[in-house]
Amino acid sequence: MPVINIDIEGFLLFIIYTHLLFSIEVDVKKFIYAQEDLWIAAGVLIFFGGAFTYLGLYPSLFNIYPREAGTVYGFFVKSLDTIFYSFIIIGQICLIRNRKYLIP
C-alpha cells in the first residue's frame, strides 16, 4: 500500500487545518457551528487524523492478521469518508446560508 504519500499529505493538511481552526473569527451574532470553516476543518482533521493513525498501524496489523486487515481497512476508511464528506456538505450548506458571500 502506498501510505507514505497519504501520511505526508495528511500530516501537512492536519497542520494547515489546525491553524485554520484556531484562527476562525468569532462573531457574537453568529453561532460557532454556523461557521463553514469549522465544519470543513473538523472534517479534514477527523479524516486525516484517523487515516494517519490507521495507515501507520496497517503494516503491523497486516503482519498479524493478513485476511482481516483488508476488511478492517475498508470499514475504517469508509466510515472516515462518510464523516469527512458529511462535514464538507454541512460546511457548504453553512456557506450558502451566509448571505454575505452570495451578494456581489
Q: pTM for this structure?
A: 0.77
List the chain domain ranges: 4-20+33-101
Cell numbers describing residue 86: 458529511
* Contact yes or no for 77/46 (Cβ under 8 A): no
**Which residues of 1-102 form beta strands (DSSP E)?**
none
Alpha helices (H) along 1-104: 4-22, 36-64, 66-97
| Mean pLDDT, the chain cut into blocks of 10 residues (104 residues total) | 74 90 81 83 90 79 83 86 93 79 59
Place of cell 481497512: 73
